[in-house]
Amino acid sequence: MLDENIAGLLNQQINKELYSAYLYLDFSNYYYDEGLDGFGNWYKIQAEEERDHAMLILKYMQNNGEKAVLEAIDKPNVEITSHKSVLLAGLKHEQFVTGLIHTIYEAAHSVKDFRTMQFLDWFVKEQGEEENNAETLLKKYELFGDDPKSLYMLDNELGTRVYSAPSLVL
């Protein structure tokens, strides 16, 4: 069994990760509609990764004798005003999620829950990568997004992203 507060935070994080998946699916849907299928593909895969994050936390709770409670997932709340606004929102969202992961880590540390800290180590690293990916994408858009030919090539590049299962196995 886990500390009650830790279990609650992990439970909440399942919802946040599923919300992230839902949000990125919304981004993907937007780009497909705009004819930018590569960007659409990139965010579709991002959505799949977020679902994986939720599943990993759910499994961790189950492995520790905790039954997660699945709550309603909010409607995506980002107002999309341009191609670039999505990328900015994506970066901001990842920074927000990093903060959530750090909060759980801090709580685990305060009750000497070393097992949960070790579990979260993967997420801490993953958030670093996700923020970096979002920043890189934004930078590329800023460099090339205004030129149709360059945008076409960038879109093609993003279309090559393929899904791979998370490296963490529980």
Q: Interface residues with ligand FEO (CB under 6 A)? A: 17, 20, 50, 53, 94, 97, 130
User: 89 or 97: whose CB is closer to ligand FEO?
Assistant: 97
- Residue 31 to residue 131: CA distance in whole angstroms: 20
CB of 94 to ligand FEO, least distance (A): 5
Q: Please tell me the distance from the alpha carbon of residue 53 to that of residue 58, in angstroms, as a whole number.
A: 9
User: Shortest approach of ligand FEO to residue 104 CB, angstroms?
Assistant: 12
CB of 50 to ligand FEO, least distance (A): 5
**Rounded distance, CA 96 to CA 134, Å?**
13
Whether 141 contacts 154, CB under 8 Å: yes
Q: String of b and e for 114-128 (b: at least 16 CB within 10 Å)?
A: eebbebbeebeebbe
Residue number, 101 or 151, with CB nearest to ligand FEO = 101
Residue closer to ligand FEO (CB basis): 40 or 151: 40
Shortest spacing between CB 54 and ligand FEO, in angstroms: 8
User: 68 and 13 in contact (C-beta within 8 Å)?
Assistant: no
Q: Give the residue with the Cβ less far from ligand FEO, 129 or 147.
A: 129
Residues found in the chain: 170
Strand, helix or coil for residue 96 = helix
> Closest distance between ligand FEO and the C-beta of residue 166, in Å?
10
**Closest residue to ligand FEO in the complex (CB):** 53
